[in-house]
């Protein structure tokens, strides 16, 4: 048994010595090896440790991508209706961090969700592009759509119960309403006898062309088949 152990140790030091000699000739790395075996071993150890950390980071990134893809696949094939308000990620506390006060110390403790739950959540929408169409009495009046680039800041969703999911459909509809209502085109085509309202005259469609009804206004955009950078459609209906 002793001879076998000695053989293993000898082979290890041979491999280690070979690797350290390679590091001595490697650009940039060689300057950390000062000719003594201790500095060489420390450098080799740090490289091996860094290599394992890099592999772990790559694996976590792959896992994150797969989990998020699974979530988006689930959302994108689902129906846009009242049922989406009951999505498990909106309702379940398992997908959100929690804060509570420790009674003994009086310190506020934050308890985070599990890693797989964190990665599975859809990413909040930070900006989108919108093609706007003016519809007067059922007829489109311009050959080309109005082009909007809308960005969402933390102030847009600070009142949301689940702020990590970003802003709601209502915020988007409201922004589009004001962009059009304050324009000269609205003054040109508006009908003074009929009111132009946020809920009745601003129709929003996701990237799949599905109309997002007003009953979904409290649902956050990332659950409505909209992702950052998407181009969606909006109709400004004037009657």
Tell me: the pLDDT tens digits for 93-116?
A: 777 777 777 777 778 777 777 778
Give the pLDDT band (50/70/90) at residue 6. low
Looking at the fold, whether 148 and 215 belong to one and the same domain comes out as yes
135 and 55 together in one domain: no
pLDDT at 128 over 90: yes
Residue 98 lies in a domain: no
Q: What is the overall mean pLDDT for the chain?
A: 84
Does residue 127 share a domain with residue 222? yes
Domain boundary among 14, 39, 64: 64
pLDDT in tens, 45-69: 777 888 888 888 888 888 888 888 8
Residues 127 and 230 in one domain: yes
Same domain (yes/no): 217, 143: yes
On whether residue 32 sits in a domain, the answer given is yes
Same domain for 58 and 129 = no
Residue 109, domain member (yes or no): no
- Residue 213 within a domain: yes
The HSE-up count of residue 159 (CA atoms within 13 Å, CB side) is 6
- At 168 the pLDDT is 92
Higher pLDDT, 201 or 70: 201
pLDDT top residue among 12 and 206: 206
Evaluate whether residue 93 is within a structural domain.
Answer: no
pLDDT at 12: 67
Which has the higher per-residue pLDDT, 30 or 1?
Answer: 30
User: pLDDT tens-digit profile of 173-199?
Assistant: 999 999 999 999 998 988 777 888 999
- CA-to-CA separations, 87 to 25, 71, 81, in angstroms, rounded: 58, 11, 11
Q: Are residues 49 and 136 in the same domain?
A: no
Number of domains in the chain: 2
Looking at the structure, do residues 234 and 126 belong to the same domain, yes or no? yes
* pLDDT band, very low/low/confident/very high, at 4 (cuts 50, 70, 90): low
Last residue of one domain, picked from the residues 34, 64, 94:
64
Q: What is the CATH number of the domain that holds 128?
A: 3.10.20.90
Q: Residue 10 belongs to what domain range?
A: 2-64
Task: Answer yes or no: is 96 within a domain.
Answer: no
Q: Helices 37-77 and 2-24 sit at what angle, rounded to 10 degrees?
A: 80
Percentage of the chain exceeding pLDDT 70: 91
Last residue of a domain, one of 37, 64, 91: 64
pLDDT at 208 over 90: yes
Quick: pLDDT tens for 134-172.
999 899 998 899 999 999 998 888 888 788 889 999 999
């Amino acid at each position: 048994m002793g001879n076998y152990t000695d053989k293993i140790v000898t082979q290890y030091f041979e491999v280690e010595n070979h690797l350290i000699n390679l590091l001595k000739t490697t650009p940039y790395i060689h300057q950390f090896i000062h000719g003594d075996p201790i500095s060489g071993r420390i450098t080799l150890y740090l490289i091996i440790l860094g290599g394992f950390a890099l592999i772990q980071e790559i694996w976590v990134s792959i896992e994150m991508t797969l989990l998020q893809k699974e979530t988006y696949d689930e959302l994108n094939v689902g129906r846009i209706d009242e049922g989406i308000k009951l999505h498990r990620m909106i309702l379940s506390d398992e997908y959100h961090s929690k804060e509570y006060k420790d009674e003994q110390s009086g310190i506020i403790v934050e308890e985070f969700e599990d890693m797989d739950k964190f990665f599975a959540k859809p990413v909040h929408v930070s900006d989108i592009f919108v093609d706007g169409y003016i519809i007067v009495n059922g007829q489109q009046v311009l050959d080309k759509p109005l082009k909007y680039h809308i960005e969402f800041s933390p102030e847009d969703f600070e009142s949301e119960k689940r702020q990590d999911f970003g802003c709601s459909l209502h915020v988007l509809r409201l922004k589009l309403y004001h962009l059009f209502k304050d324009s000269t085109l609205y003054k040109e085509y508006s009908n003074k006898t009929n009111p132009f309202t946020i809920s009745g005259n601003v129709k929003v469609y996701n990237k799949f062309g599905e109309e997002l009804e007003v009953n979904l206004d409290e649902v956050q955009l990332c659950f409505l088949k909209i992702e950052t950078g998407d181009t969606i459609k909006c109709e400004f209906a004037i009657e």
